[in-house]
């Protein structure tokens, strides 16, 4: 039947090319105008102010404004289309992180907690939670009316099972590493016993990091060690979730994930009837689809794409909704290299790079300065540390002092290579090319080495077959999850996202360990400030900027997801204006 469609389409296409352009695109929009508009008794959260582009050529800052003609009354119905550039293989975020599985997983599965835009935990499956005085026990009190998609109640044992699966399967072992045991005295109480205080565990209970999965469906495969191959990770006929949407269709080859509203969701049914997650690689196509209403929400990083989005009527652009991932762009030093093992050389390189030029000219003002591995949006970021502002004279002095004086031709006899992550030119290759030029000005010869694909770049990074490399590291909302891993001696391994600089500092490790278990927020901030100061002084990386990721959405979208997790948070309270 499918081929018959295509055959007929082929034949018709030849004869109808000239006349077929007259159709309105309205039928192609995904708003689902046919759905009856009904008012929900339960109002959504306050609609966050959207940032709307100013139509100016040079002014790239965004201003806040409420969408025009936005109705205050939520409307049910329609299809919400979210576009992503990365294709999911499965929807089990207990096995892997990343936006690809995270976006659908957060819709299919609820979690104990969710977070607002200021890193504050909010009730979700857990209506309340409490740490013991010594921080070694966390008690969750679950709602009593949550059910899985098959109608079976969500019980405390399912939360315990999900934590067990996550601890055994997820690459971020620090999330639930300190969990010694989980007790479930009754169906709505979960008592998590920790080997050490672990305040970061609250963030680890976000929808994108801890989907609560039914033990009666996934338990057997997990016990048999076959959870990675289990069909329930992606097959609509097997997958049973706990979230606001059910899985209707997964078509990985065409990049379509189709989800339906789950009417028995414990927070009430989602406003939209259907949620479609569509993979589109080309950002130009995404922008046009956003304009047309074929796509409603996406995330973008490309400078030129965001510049164009800023000029489009009816399209809102905001850096909100991306803080949780906390991506920081940096230049990583291989400390096993003889030249780069010298701290003065690393500092000289840092001084030779004009961060203002990078932020304002290369990135068009769309990225923020980042001086440490902790994202500037995090409460633990310390902006007072040394940022190595552009000072080529100081760079030259440091190189002289390090034993690399300039020759007659200005060259200092230092020859290095610079790698970068391929496929993301705006904040990798362009930066690498600029740094080559900047280092040339202080007498350092830098060869920029291109990799044809990610595999090649990892092939240089993991075994430390590099001198300098551009990198992007993700914090995942809490430093214990995405920051510590880069500085632990035990994590010097030939794998990506480990301690690939081969940086060793036992004092720093001790500070990080203390910060990871500090239950007092101020104490924790102080410890991370101390760690950031140490890192800024020793420079195993030179941190440059945040990834200029922005949430971009059509203004028909009401109550857009602008929490720290953005589209990786449940979209049940998003609705589409008529």
Partner 1 sequence: MSASSSERGKVIARVGRVIATRLGHAIFIILAVIILTFSLIHLAPGDAAEVLTFSQGGASEEQLAEIREEFNLDDPFLSQLGNYIIDAFRFDFGNSFFFQQPVSDLVLDRLWPTILLVSTALGMAIVGGVILGVYSARRPEKTSSHVMTVLALFGFSAPIFWTGIMLLLLFSSWLGWLPSNGMNSVTVGDGFFEKSWDTIKHLILPATTLGFFYMAQYSRISRATMLEVLGSDYVRTARAKGLKERVVIWKHALRNAVIPVVTIAGFQIAAILSGGILVETVFNWPGMGRLAFEALLRRDTPILMGMLIISAIIVIVANLLTDLAYRLIDPRIRYKT
Segment 219 to 278, residues that bind partner 1, using CB under 8 A? 252-256, 258, 276, 278
Rounded Cα–Cα distance for residues 216 and 222 (Å): 11
Which residue, 140 or 547, has its beta carbon nearer to partner 1?
547
Sort 558 into a burial class: Cβ within 10 Å, 0-12 / 13-18 / 19+. Answer: buried
Residue from 38, 120, 195, 285 touching partner 1 (CB under 8 A): that is: 285
Rounded Cα–Cα distance for residues 561 and 400 (Å): 52
Window of 149-157, 454-462, 537-545, 570-578 that interacts with partner 1 by CB under 8 A: 454-462
Window of 11-19, 57-65, 119-127, 186-194 that interacts with partner 1 by CB under 8 A: 11-19
Residue from 294, 305, 320, 573 touching partner 1 (CB under 8 A): that is: 294
Q: Does 14 bind partner 1 (CB under 8 A)?
A: yes
Which among 207, 238, 194 is positioned nearest to 97, based on CA atoms?
207
Who's near 186: CB < 8 A, 6+ residues apart? 156
Q: How many residues does the chain have?
A: 578
Q: 81-119 burial string, b = 16+ CB within 10 Å, else e?
A: bbbbbeebebbbbbbbbbbbbbbbbbbbbbbbbbbebeb
Q: Does 109 bind partner 1 (CB under 8 A)?
A: no
Which residue, 30 or 156, has its beta carbon nearer to partner 1?
30
Residue from 57, 151, 338, 452 touching partner 1 (CB under 8 A): that is: 452
Residue from 20, 37, 223, 401 touching partner 1 (CB under 8 A): that is: 20
Q: Does 314 bind partner 1 (CB under 8 A)?
A: no
Kindly provide the residue ranges of all beta strands, DSSP E only, lying in 223-367, ordered along the sequence. 245-251, 256-261, 274-279, 297-300, 315-318, 327-333
Window of 19-27, 57-65, 327-335, 526-534 that interacts with partner 1 by CB under 8 A: 19-27
Rounded Cα–Cα distance for residues 127 and 88 (Å): 30
Which residue, 55 or 356, has its beta carbon nearer to partner 1?
55
Q: 339-376 burial string, b = 16+ CB within 10 Å, else e?
A: bbebbbbbbbbbbbbbbeebbeebbbbbbbbbbbbbbb
Residue from 134, 281, 415, 450 touching partner 1 (CB under 8 A): that is: 281
The whole-angstrom distance between residue 577's C-alpha and the CA centroid of its chain comes to 27
Which residue, 282 or 441, has its beta carbon nearer to partner 1?
282
State the nearest-atom distance from the C-beta of 131 to partner 1, in Å.
27
Q: Give the number of other CB atoms < 10 A from CB of residue 179.
A: 20
Q: Does 318 bind partner 1 (CB under 8 A)?
A: no
Which residue, 218 or 230, has its beta carbon nearer to partner 1?
230
Residues 352-391 that bind partner 1 (CB under 8 A): none
Beta-carbon-side half-sphere exposure of residue 556 (alpha carbons within 13 Å): 23
The single residue listed with the structure tokens 């309105």 is 24
Residues 482-521 that bind partner 1 (CB under 8 A): 493-498
Window of 8-16, 128-136, 350-358, 512-520 that interacts with partner 1 by CB under 8 A: 8-16
The whole-angstrom distance between residue 532's C-alpha and the CA centroid of its chain comes to 22
Largest CA distance in the chain: 79
Q: Does 291 bind partner 1 (CB under 8 A)?
A: yes
Which residue, 228 or 361, has its beta carbon nearer to partner 1?
228
At 261, is the secondary structure helix, strand, or coil? strand
Residue from 224, 304, 401, 454 touching partner 1 (CB under 8 A): that is: 454
Residues 133-152 that bind partner 1 (CB under 8 A): none
Q: Does 24 bind partner 1 (CB under 8 A)?
A: yes
Residues 65-94 that bind partner 1 (CB under 8 A): 79, 81, 86-87, 89
Residue from 47, 100, 240, 297 touching partner 1 (CB under 8 A): that is: 100
Q: Give the number of other CB atoms < 10 A from CB of residue 38.
A: 11
Any idea what DSSP says for residue 362? I
Rounded Cα–Cα distance for residues 129 and 144 (Å): 15
The whole-angstrom distance between residue 34's C-alpha and the CA centroid of its chain comes to 34
State the nearest-atom distance from the C-beta of 414 to partner 1, in Å.
24
Rounded Cα–Cα distance for residues 160 and 168 (Å): 12
Q: Does 304 bind partner 1 (CB under 8 A)?
A: no
Q: Does 37 bind partner 1 (CB under 8 A)?
A: no
Residues 165-194 that bind partner 1 (CB under 8 A): 171-173
Sign of CA dihedral 295, 297, 298, 304: positive
Q: Does 460 bind partner 1 (CB under 8 A)?
A: yes
Q: Does 98 bind partner 1 (CB under 8 A)?
A: yes
Which among 282, 315, 273 is positioned nearest to 32, based on CA atoms?
273
Kindly provide the residue ranges of all beta strands, DSSP E only, lying in 71-178, ordered along the sequence. 79-84, 113-115, 121-123, 126-131, 137-142
Residue from 36, 151, 455, 506 touching partner 1 (CB under 8 A): that is: 455
Residue from 157, 411, 417, 456 touching partner 1 (CB under 8 A): that is: 456
Rounded Cα–Cα distance for residues 551 and 549 (Å): 7
Window of 29-37, 150-158, 396-404, 557-565 that interacts with partner 1 by CB under 8 A: 29-37
State the nearest-atom distance from the C-beta of 425 to partner 1, in Å.
14
State the nearest-atom distance from the C-beta of 186 to partner 1, in Å.
35
Window of 7-15, 190-198, 385-393, 437-445 that interacts with partner 1 by CB under 8 A: 7-15
At 51, is the secondary structure helix, strand, or coil? strand
Rounded Cα–Cα distance for residues 376 and 66 (Å): 26
Residues 417-436 that bind partner 1 (CB under 8 A): 423
State the nearest-atom distance from the C-beta of 107 to partner 1, in Å.
15
Residue from 17, 57, 393, 490 touching partner 1 (CB under 8 A): that is: 17
Which residue, 407 or 496, has its beta carbon nearer to partner 1?
496
Q: Does 6 bind partner 1 (CB under 8 A)?
A: yes
């Amino acid at each position: 039947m499918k081929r018959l469609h295509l055959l007929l389409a082929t034949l018709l296409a030849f004869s109808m090319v000239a006349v077929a352009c007259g159709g309105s695109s309205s039928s192609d929009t995904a708003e689902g105008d046919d759905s009856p508009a009904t008012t929900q008794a339960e109002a959504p959260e306050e609609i966050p102010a959207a940032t709307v582009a100013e139509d100016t050529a040079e002014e790239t800052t965004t201003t806040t404004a409420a969408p025009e003609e936005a109705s205050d009354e939520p409307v049910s119905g329609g299809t919400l289309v979210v576009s992503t550039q990365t294709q999911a293989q499965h929807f089990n975020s207990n096995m892997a992180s990343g936006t690809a599985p995270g976006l659908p997983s957060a819709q299919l599965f609820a979690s104990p907690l969710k977070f607002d835009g200021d890193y504050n935990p909010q009730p979700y499956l857990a209506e309340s939670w409490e740490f013991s005085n010594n921080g070694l026990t966390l008690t969750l009190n679950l709602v009593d009316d949550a059910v899985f998609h098959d109608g079976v109640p969500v019980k405390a044992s399912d939360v315990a099972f999900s934590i067990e699966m996550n601890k055994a399967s997820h690459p971020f072992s620090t999330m639930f590493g300190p969990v010694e045991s989980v007790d479930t005295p009754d169906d709505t109480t979960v008592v998590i016993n920790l080997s050490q205080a672990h305040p970061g565990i609250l963030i680890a209970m976000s929808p994108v990091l801890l989907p609560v999965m039914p033990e009666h469906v996934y338990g057997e495969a997990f016990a048999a060690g076959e959870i990675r191959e289990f069909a329930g990770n992606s097959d609509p006929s097997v997958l049973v979730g706990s979230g606001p949407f059910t899985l209707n269709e997964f078509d990985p080859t065409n990049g379509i994930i189709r989800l339906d509203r789950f009417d028995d969701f414990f927070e009430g049914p989602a406003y939209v009837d259907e949620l479609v997650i569509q993979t589109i690689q080309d950002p130009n196509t995404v922008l046009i689809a956003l304009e047309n209403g074929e796509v409603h929400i996406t995330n973008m990083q490309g400078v030129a794409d965001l510049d164009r989005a800023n000029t489009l009527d009816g399209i809102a652009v905001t850096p909100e909704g991306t803080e949780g991932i906390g991506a920081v762009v940096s230049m990583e030093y291989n400390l096993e290299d003889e030249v780069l093992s010298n701290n003065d050389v690393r500092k000289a390189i840092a001084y030779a790079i004009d961060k203002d030029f990078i932020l304002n000219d290369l990135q068009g003002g769309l990225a923020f300065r980042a001086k440490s591995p902790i994202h500037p949006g995090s409460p633990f970021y310390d902006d007072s540390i040394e940022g190595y502002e552009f000072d080529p004279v100081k760079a030259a002095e440091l190189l002289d002092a390090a034993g690399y004086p300039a020759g007659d031709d200005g060259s200092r006899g230092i020859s290095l290579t610079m790698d970068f992550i391929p496929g993301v030119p705006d904040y990798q290759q362009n930066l690498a090319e600029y740094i080559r030029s900047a280092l040339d000005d202080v007498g350092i010869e830098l060869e920029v080495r291109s990799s044809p694909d990610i595999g090649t770049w990892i092939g240089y990074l993991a075994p430390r077959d590099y001198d300098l490399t551009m990198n992007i590291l993700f914090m995942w909302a809490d430093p214990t999850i995405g920051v510590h891993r880069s500085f632990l001696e035990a994590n010097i391994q030939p794998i990506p996202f480990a301690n690939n600089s081969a940086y060793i500092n036992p004092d720093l490790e001790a500070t990080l360990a203390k910060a990871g278990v500090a239950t007092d927020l101020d104490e924790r901030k102080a410890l991370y400030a101390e760690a950031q100061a140490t890192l800024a002084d020793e420079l195993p990386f030179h941190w440059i900027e945040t990834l200029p990721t922005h949430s971009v959405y059509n203004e028909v979208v009401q109550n857009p997801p602008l929490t720290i997790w953005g589209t990786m948070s449940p979209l049940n309270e998003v609705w589409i204006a008529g």
